[in-house]
Amino acid sequence: MNITVIFFLGLIIALIGVVPPGLLNMTAAKISLKEGYARGIIFSVGVCFIVFLQTYIAAMFARYLSNHQSVVEILQRVAFVIFVLITIYFLLLAKSFQKPDVEPLAKSKQSRFFQGIFLSAINVFPIPYQAYMTITIASFGWFAFDVTSIVTYCSGASTGTFVMLYVYIFFFDKVKDKKFTSQKNMNYIIGTITGLVAGVTFINILMEL
């Protein structure tokens, strides 16, 4: 598979994973609003450094699982159920979302970098998410578990994460009061994304029957 395609697969998958408002992107936006864009960027660089390592760990785990197909099949079915439940929750059940009021704890650029590393390190969701997505794209023949492909994919994932944090940093203040960022619409966006992932998972399960 062309490394350019693998890079953009990693970028797009990471983008999707960071779209929902969460601690990392909301903290990046908060820092940029209170201390300026530069400090928000430094924080985001720290986040992406850890995202690269987490994605690499996820790819290694996925490579192991790819040699144990029975385990992969079980995980696919579990993931399908989870994504369906998440979709139902955000489309039908989710209530209002409270934007986290994250107060900046430090002032230096270096501390913002390490704050990004710390918060990203305690956010372990990317590991199972990327492991599952890596197995999925590999099952379609879009990804191979060689060193070049893995490093390229990890680079794409880091870039995709940075792009979405960049969007939050530079545009959140301008669009935070707009209609599409209301809780109802945000829930629909998240629910639609997880619904699409559930659909891809279901298709993949059917193809393997």
- Mean pLDDT per 10-residue run, the chain (209 residues)? 88 85 79 85 94 93 76 70 75 56 49 89 83 84 89 94 89 58 60 73 72
Contact 10, 55 (CB under 8 A): yes
Residue-wise burial string across 39-54, b where 16 or more C-beta atoms lie within 10 A, e elsewhere: bbbbbbbbbbbbbbbb
Assess contact for 28 and 47: CB atoms under 8 A.
yes
Residues contacting 121, CB < 8 A, separation 6+: 50
Alpha helical stretches, state H, the chain: 3-18, 23-35, 37-66, 69-88, 109-122, 126-139, 147-175, 183-208
Q: In this predicted structure, what is the pLDDT of residue 98?
A: 46
Domain ranges of the chain: 3-77+106-173
Burial of 11 (0-12, 13-18, 19+ CB in 10 A): buried
How many other C-beta atoms can be found within 10 angstroms of the C-beta atom of residue 121?
15
Q: How many Å apart are CA 190 and CA 91, to the nearest integer? A: 8
The reported pLDDT for the residue numbered 100 is 44
3-state secondary structure of 171: helix
Per-residue confidence (pLDDT) for residue 69, from 0 to 100: 65
pLDDT at 77: 77
Q: State the pLDDT at residue 25.
A: 82
Crossing angle (nearest 10°) for helices 69-88 and 126-139: 120
How many Å apart are CA 174 and CA 57, to the nearest integer? 36
- 127-159 confidence digits (pLDDT tens): 888 888 888 888 788 888 889 999 999 999 999
Looking at residue 55, its pLDDT comes to 94
